[in-house]
Amino acid sequence: MEFTRTKLLKLLDELNVIGIALSAEKDHQRLLEMILIRAKDITNADGGTLYIRTEDNRLRFEIMQTNTLKIHMGGTSGEEIPFYPVYLYREDGSPNLNNVAACAVLERKTINTPDAYEDTEFDFSGTRNFDKKTGYRSKSFLTVPMVNHENNIIGVLQLINAIDAETGDVIPFSDVSQQLVESLASQAAVTITNRSLLDAQKELFDALIKLIANAIDEKSPYTAGHCRRVPVLTNLIANAACKVNYGPLAEFNMSDEEKYELDVAAWLHDCGKITTPEYVVDKGTKLETIFDRIELVDTRFEVLKRDVVIESLRKNLESRGHTSHEDDELQQKLDKLNQDRDFIRLCNIGGESISDDDIKRVEEISRMQWQNTAGNQEKFLTDEEKQNLNIGRGTLSYREREIINNHVSVTIKMLESLPYPKHLQRVPEFAGGHHEKMDGTGYPNQLKKEDMSIPARMLAIADVFEALTAKDRPYKEAMTLSKALTILGRMKLDNHVDPDLFDVFMWEKLYLKYAEEHLEPEQIDDVDPENIPGYTPPPAVN
């Protein structure tokens, strides 16, 4: 094959274009396939094989293509290559120089074989057997080691049967073709190495992200799994929002990079909790700090009951006898103390609300006097204990809730301190909005719907639904689907969660897809969407 100056310049220009295309390709399999296809194109080869060198010194068949036989194996074809790898060294440790691909690696050189059937240097018996089975005639081979910028051979590019463009005959690979393929192989090796490094860095980054998330989950048995489940829900919502072709989000879409950016944010949305004290994260009752102080209150009740009995006995001694009336009075006092004790125990358990009558009764009990270990009289409940018992929702006091809420500010601060690549720069914004509400009453920045991106709103609704359905919280029982959706629907009506995303959540039955994988069977009850507050049927689709 002769090359005119014009054709050569065109090939060099094409080689440059190929290099740019290789650098732009991010999918590893497509990258390898592109290398082989472009090498075949510039040499007009009928077929080719791309081998990748493994750490145990083998050449693994990665992609095989032959135009005449319409063979396409490996790569994006989905069809496995049924051939054993090529060993660079034999069992006795000697170099496998009889194999042309192994020799190209071991001797770090290109091997240009005009005719495999006439060649006496290498063992082409496998090629001949292949030809017998297929009726093919493998003749010219160009075997090029792929050397990267670190001077390491990462694989082999082997082309078969150069075709004369005018006659259609199989011809040897020309010197120009060899030089072009060597240049392409070098570019390809560098690109593959860089892509492998980037993939390895991404794997490390992803592993570190999950390590942080798992550490936060492990910090508290009551939130175990939260950081792992929120990304699942967020991904469900993101994929559904991109898929729907009706409603307000019909035109919405996200690229794979944007979905990955959101996934990173979902995994790291609670990273600020690493600074939150365990006694606040784990607080299962209103009086709990390092331990549940209800035990101290129980002891005080026992002291009061003891004092009532002692006082009754003292009166009996002074009057040299006792009456049934005095016995009844003593029992009434003991019963009253037992009732108050049981009431305080009940108040100590977190709930959704506390009545005004209960608050008044806690106040009355707090004013009782008891004698401490120093012999001094003091109020039965401290002001701090009284405030904790009067907590209206959950188990956290106002100060403790501020500590918990501060985890979002810490999350934002931590995430904003990282040097992100361009495609991850919105991670702090996505992660930092998971406690914001659409009406601006959330925290920490009181953002409204228009201040938040759609992905940030996705993470917010995912965080809420996971918390509602979580079965490992100390202050509430596992919630059924219908109850969780009822609360979520009210939040839509109150403008706390994005109404459009709530609609997609209901229309696409994302709650059921999530529940089947992550909730207990007893939580999955029948859900009639028409009974869920805020539900609107999907618009008619033409």
Better-scored residue on pLDDT, 405 or 430:
430
Last residue of a domain, one of 344, 367, 395: 395
Domain CATH code at residue 72: 3.30.450.40
Confidence label for 47 from pLDDT (cuts 50, 70 and 90): very high
Residues 189 and 51 sit within 8 Å (Cβ to Cβ): no
What integer is the mean pLDDT of 478-506? Answer: 95
On whether residue 84 sits in a domain, the answer given is yes
Compute the distance between CA of residue 225 and CA of residue 219 in angstroms, rounded to an integer. Answer: 11
Last residue of a domain, one of 167, 198, 229: 198
Side-chain-side CA neighbours of 53 within 13 Å: the count stands at 24
Instruction: Please state the pTM of the whole predicted model.
Output: 0.69
Q: Which domain holds residue 508?
A: 220-280+413-531
Both 262 and 304 in a single domain? no
Last residue of a domain, one of 337, 360, 395: 395
Confidence label for 482 from pLDDT (cuts 50, 70 and 90): very high
Q: Examine the pLDDT at 392 and tell me if it is beyond 80.
A: no
Q: Domain tally for the chain?
A: 3
Q: What is the pLDDT of residues 512-524, one digit of tens each?
A: 999 999 999 999 9
Domain CATH code at residue 480: 1.10.3210.10
Both 337 and 299 in a single domain? yes
Both 307 and 372 in a single domain? yes
Both 96 and 149 in a single domain? yes
Q: Examine the pLDDT at 363 and tell me if it is beyond 90.
A: no
CA atoms 145, 150, 151, 152: torsion sign: negative
Long-range contacts at 108-112 (CB < 8 A, ≥ 24 apart):
108/145, 108/147, 108/153, 109/145, 110/142, 110/143, 110/144, 110/145, 110/178, 110/181, 110/182, 111/141, 111/142, 111/143, 112/141, 112/142, 112/143, 112/172, 112/173, 112/178
- Reduced to 3 states (helix: H, G, I; strand: E, B; else coil), residue 495 is coil
List the structure tokens of 63.
Answer: 């992609």
- Reduced to 3 states (helix: H, G, I; strand: E, B; else coil), residue 137 is coil
Both 311 and 262 in a single domain? no
Question: What pLDDT does residue 230 have?
Answer: 95
Q: Examine the pLDDT at 180 and tell me if it is beyond 60.
A: yes
Question: What pLDDT does residue 28 have?
Answer: 72
Question: What pLDDT does residue 337 have?
Answer: 87
Q: How many of the other CB atoms lie within 10 Å of CB of 230?
A: 24
Both 128 and 103 in a single domain? yes
Q: Examine the pLDDT at 390 and tell me if it is beyond 90.
A: no
Both 388 and 478 in a single domain? no
On whether residue 212 sits in a domain, the answer given is no
Question: What pLDDT does residue 414 have?
Answer: 93
Q: What is the pLDDT of residues 94-152, one digit of tens each?
A: 999 999 999 999 999 999 999 999 999 999 999 999 999 999 999 999 999 999 888 99
On whether residue 452 sits in a domain, the answer given is yes
Q: Which of 18-27, 233-242, 298-307, 335-344 is the most confident on average?
A: 233-242
On whether residue 286 sits in a domain, the answer given is no
Confidence label for 350 from pLDDT (cuts 50, 70 and 90): confident
Q: Give percent above pLDDT 70 in the chain.
A: 87
Both 104 and 227 in a single domain? no
Confidence label for 323 from pLDDT (cuts 50, 70 and 90): low
Q: Examine the pLDDT at 170 and tell me if it is beyond 60.
A: yes
Both 251 and 325 in a single domain? no
Both 227 and 262 in a single domain? yes
What integer is the mean pLDDT of 316-333? Answer: 72
Residues 101 and 59 sit within 8 Å (Cβ to Cβ): yes
Q: Examine the pLDDT at 289 and tell me if it is beyond 80.
A: no
Question: What pLDDT does residue 403 have?
Answer: 72
Roughly how many angstroms between the first and final C-alpha of the chain, as a whole number? 58
On whether residue 42 sits in a domain, the answer given is yes
On whether residue 402 sits in a domain, the answer given is no
Q: What is the dihedral of CA 30, 36, 38, 41, to 10 degrees?
A: -140
Confidence label for 539 from pLDDT (cuts 50, 70 and 90): confident
Question: What pLDDT does residue 377 have?
Answer: 86
Both 526 and 476 in a single domain? yes
Question: What pLDDT does residue 306 have?
Answer: 83
Q: Examine the pLDDT at 20 and tell me if it is beyond 70.
A: no
Average pLDDT, the chain: 87
On whether residue 173 sits in a domain, the answer given is yes
On whether residue 101 sits in a domain, the answer given is yes
List the structure tokens of 116.
Answer: 């495999």
- Reduced to 3 states (helix: H, G, I; strand: E, B; else coil), residue 93 is coil
Both 444 and 359 in a single domain? no
- Reduced to 3 states (helix: H, G, I; strand: E, B; else coil), residue 412 is helix
Compute the distance between CA of residue 60 and CA of residue 53 in angstroms, rounded to an integer. Answer: 6
Question: What pLDDT does residue 541 have?
Answer: 58
What integer is the mean pLDDT of 289-294? Answer: 69
Compute the distance between CA of residue 138 and CA of residue 127 in angstroms, rounded to an integer. Answer: 7
Confidence label for 5 from pLDDT (cuts 50, 70 and 90): low
Question: What pLDDT does residue 393 have?
Answer: 72
